Structure 1
Amino acid sequence: MTKGLAPLACKTDKVDAKVLAELARLDLVPAIWLPSPEVRAERERARFRLHLVRHRSALKNRIHATLVTFGKPPPLPMKLETLVAF
């Protein structure tokens, strides 16, 4: 938005501050978008679910590695066990 309003050769904080002040004075600074509380809550749930899925995978990998270390066969995946049972 501010590109082209100040010469690139004299790019300093002072020049940037003047440009931003002028944009604010002319009401040309765009408003920021903030997600609604519902969207923020949904994002937080998605982040937490991802955390849980990664933690579950890490635990499965750790159990598998421990079993292999002690010479025990790792358990079959749940879906394959179901097929073998029939």
Structure 2
Amino acid sequence: MKTRLIAEVKIKTDAKASDALAQLLMMGWLPTSYVPPEEIRRLRELVRLREYLVYERTKFKNKVHAALMREGIRGRKGIFAKKRREFLNELEIDEVNRCLSVIDVLDRQINEISALIRKIAGES
């Protein structure tokens, strides 16, 4: 494109670059960039938020696994399933209970955001 010429010039100054860009703009040769509509931006923001919350939930689940290992409890698969959660609650390990409380909050938020994403995506 024409803007590549600016990048390839050996002597570059802000003044020369701005003059060149101004000329390209006046001639209509500057490429346009895509700006997604508000709805798409909102959907992307929700997806990023959901991804972050899932990442945070994973961190707390890993903390639970680490606390269990310190207590000598190993090899439990599916420990966060409903039936296994009862087992975790019965252990009465403070660190595990704190992490489980945070995981519960994150689960609710993730579910709410997932439903909102599905609703918005379904409307599109």
TM range (shorter): 0.7 to 0.9
TM-score by length of 1: 0.75
Which residue matches 1:8?
9
Of structures 1 and 2, the one scoring higher in RCO (CA 8 A, sep 6+) is 2
Q: Which runs of 5+ in 2 are unaligned?
A: 85-124
What is the CA deviation profile of residues 24-47 of structure 1, one whole-angstrom value per residue up to 9, with x for unaligned ones?
111222222211111111101111
Identical counterparts, % of pairs: 33
Structure 1's consecutive aligned runs of 4 or more residues displaced over 6 angstroms after TM superposition are none
Show the 5 A alignment for 1:36-55: 36-55=37-56
Q: Which runs of 5+ in 1 are unaligned?
A: 82-86
Which residue matches 1:71?
72
User: Cα–Cα, structure 1 residues 5 and 66, in superposed 2: closer, same or farther, change >3 Å?
Assistant: closer
Higher alpha-carbon Rg = 1
Distance, in Å, in 2 between the alignment partners of 1:59 and 1:70 is 17
Equivalences, count = 79
